[in-house]
Structures are given as structure tokens and as C-alpha cells.
Structure 1
């Protein structure tokens, strides 16, 4: 990597994409096998109330990912990701925001070092980027590990955890520019010289402006 290049960090879901890609992917996996969906329904009376509180919401989500991946390996997840993308009405073209990918390409054309840091599962994010012609862009994403016949979270590239994961891949802070849609990326924004918010919600803008003491720069890509 050219040490003189500016490092530009892009979030993925709702920054480069129109929706939360992992959420849609795992819902698709659950629906394609009725028995998996039935397991979720059986557990809903117990796990459902946990969705109401932010502190406990992770547990039903982790359970759903485990059920969706029962009998699956990490390698088969990449194949399923390709199948999922092909099942979309317009393939990968329906996923990405044109203005976002144009900006990403513009940074690369200028000689900037672009890296994508995302909480999305690596197999899915990599497949989506490959289909869109951005498979060569460095990606730091969440990983899964085997557990009781399925897959569960290993490293979660989310919030403050993005910093050590980016550093481990050779993209240590400070960064020149960061793009995100959510205040959860405040740790990344604090360590970036320029920050851009992609179609953020009003509460997100308020939290970031209060935390950083600056006026947010908004990009209306969605």
C-alpha cells in the first residue's frame, strides 16, 4: 500500500447499499427451508420479548443466524450468497446505490486507498462486491465460526471493534475520510479527518454533531 495515499473508509450497509444486506440474506435462508422457519416460530415466545430491548436484541438475532446456517459450512455460505444475489429481481444492481459506488470509484481513480469496513458477514459482502465489479477492494467484515452444527458470530466488525479489525489488516487510524449512515460508527468518525453521513436519520445527525462538535456533511444517496 502506498503510504502517501489517503485512506478512505466506507461503511457498507445503507452507505453503499439500499438495505441491510445480512438481514435480508438470512431471512431468505430461513424462508427457503420451512423447517428452519418453523424453529424460529417455536422459539418466538421466548426470544421475541428480547427484541424489544437494545441490550438483549443480539440474542434472538444470533439464534436466527444459527438456525439459518444449521448444516451449513463457511464454504457453502459463499455459494448461498451467490444464489441469493441471483434471486434478486435485478441481481446486485438492485442492492447498490449508484451515487455511492460512483464515489467509491472516484476515490480509487484519484489514487486513494479505499477499504470497506462492515458488520455484514464476510461471505455475503464479498460476493456482492464481486458481482458489482468491486471484488478487488479491501474488505474488513464480520466472520462466523462453527457451533453445534451451525455458524455463530466470531469477529463482529461493528462500532468500536472496526478499529482493531482495520488495524489488523494494515489500515490503522487516523484515516483521511470516512463514510457511514449511522452514529454507531462514531469511533471511526472521531479518527477521520473528513466525515460524511449518508442519508442519516435526524437522531443520528444530532448524536454525531453533539459528539464531534461539528456540523455534519450530509450526502443524500438514499
Structure 2
């Protein structure tokens, strides 16, 4: 699935730490939602079960404090009676990515990948921190020869005959999981679209907001340092100053 690419210099232990979100940052859309929608669509009874729980779990996804619980319901529907742990989910992810290679590749944002590549060429310590399962981001990055980049993502485990999130890499937990993965110390630069990543953006010496929702731009300008770039890397329907 990966393509031949340049060899990047090995980042030194003290090199600047640069953290990228994945969805709506490197990838146009919510990769986890695309995966779980496909998993649910594999069987009619999963679709029916998802429709039955949607009135309860759907609204939970919309709010930060309850998002993990809302997502976990749909993850369970897509995995019950078939998946029993991370290894099973990783295998399904690889099948999904292989079967949707063209559509997934088209969602990778060229401007974002140029910035990503530039940091790697500079010898920075680059890490992707995402709310999606880490194998999903790794498999997608393999299309552009970045599969060796460390990925910190949501951890899953067995749940009621399927799988569900054990630690959701989201909001403050994203910072905790980065530290637990060995990426402690100061964050030199952070790129994200999401208000859920405010702990990460505020921790960075140089935060960069990319592809935000238009309704969140004023909030970002208020809470982040003056002059923080708010950019659009070619993500349709999102705000930010366009970058050629």
C-alpha cells in the first residue's frame, strides 16, 4: 500500500516536537466516522441496530463531555459478533483501507502533506495525535510514505462481544496519551482544526489552526495568542485563510 518516498533524517531526541492532528488537518473529513460507517454497512442488521440506538447515542456525539460515549455505541454496533480486540480491529482497518484506496488517497490534503514533509526534512520530532484508531492513520499515511511516523490514537479493547474505546485520544486525554507515549516536554508547534484540541494548541509555543469550522474562528482568535495563523489547507466547507 505504501509508495517509495524520500528518506527523512532521523530526529534527534532534543529536536523540536511537532504534533499534527489527523482528521480535517491532514485528511479531509473524519476518518474514524468513515471507517465505522463502512463497518456498520457490512450487514443489514448492523444498519438496523445503528438506527435503533441513534436517538440515544447520536446526540451524545455532538457534545465534548459525552462524545466518547456516543462514538462508543456506533463502534460497538460495527464490531459486535466479530471483533474481540485491537488485533481484530486492525485487520478490519487494513481491509477497509485496501478496498477504498482511491477515495482515501483523494482525501489527503496536498498542502498539509507539504508542511508535514517539511518538518520531517528539517529533522523535527513529528507525531500524529488523533481521535481515530492509530492503525487507521498509519495505514492512510502509508499511501504517501509516512507510515513510519509515530501515531498516538484512541485505544480500544473488548466490550460486550465487540470492541469499544478504552482511552479516547481527545481533548485533555490527548495530552496525557502523548506524554505516556514518550512525547513529553515542550511542544514547539501544533496543528489542528478542532476546539477539542485547545489543550494541545495552548501547550504549543507556536499553535496553528487549520481548516476550522467557521463558527469557531472567533473563539480561536480570543483564546490563542495574537497572530496565531488560522489557515485553510484546501478543506472544502471549512474556514481559514486559503494557502496555495
- TM-score (normalizing by structure 1): 0.90
Q: What is the aligned counterpart of 2:26 among 1, 16, 35?
A: 16
> What residue is the counterpart of 1:184 in the other structure?
196
**Length, aligned pairs only:** 222
Q: What is the aligned counterpart of 2:112 among 78, 81, 100?
A: 100
> What residue is the counterpart of 1:147 in the other structure?
159
Structure 1 pair 196–44 and aligned structure 2 pair: CA distance change class (3 A): closer
CA contact (8 A) 1:85 1:91 kept: no
CA contact (8 A) 2:206 2:228 kept: no
What displacement does 1:39 show? 1.3
> What residue is the counterpart of 2:168 in the other structure?
156
What displacement does 1:36 show? 0.9
> What residue is the counterpart of 1:125 in the other structure?
137
- 1:1-222, aligned counterparts within 5 Å? 2-47=12-57, 50=60, 55-56=65-66, 58-70=68-80, 71-73=82-84, 74-88=86-100, 90-221=102-233, 222=235
Structure 1 pair 98–52 and aligned structure 2 pair: CA distance change class (3 A): closer
What displacement does 1:41 show? 2.3
Instruction: Name which of structure 1's ranges 89-98 and 136-145 shifts more when overlaid on structure 2.
Output: 89-98
CA contact (8 A) 1:78 1:127 kept: no
What displacement does 1:185 show? 1.0
Q: Please list every run of 5 or more consecutive structure 2 residues that lacks an aligned counterpart in the other structure.
A: 1-10, 236-244
CA contact (8 A) 2:59 2:70 kept: no
Q: Please list every run of 5 or more consecutive structure 1 residues that lacks an aligned counterpart in the other structure.
A: none
* Separation of aligned partners in 2, 1:161 and 1:40: 27
What displacement does 1:158 show? 0.7
Aligned with 1:145: secondary structure?
strand
Structure 1 pair 153–108 and aligned structure 2 pair: CA distance change class (3 A): same
**After the TM superposition, which parts of structure 1 deviate over 4 Å for at least 4 consecutive aligned residues?**
45-58
Instruction: Name which of structure 1's ranges 124-133 and 154-163 shifts more when overlaid on structure 2.
Output: 124-133
Deviations 1:97-149 (A, max 9, x none): 11111111111101111011111112212221223321100111111010111
* Separation of aligned partners in 1, 2:219 and 2:191: 16
What is the root-mean-square deviation in Å for CA atoms of aligned residues?
2.0
Instruction: Name which of structure 1's ranges 121-130 and 171-180 shifts more when overlaid on structure 2.
Output: 121-130
CA contact (8 A) 1:7 1:176 kept: yes
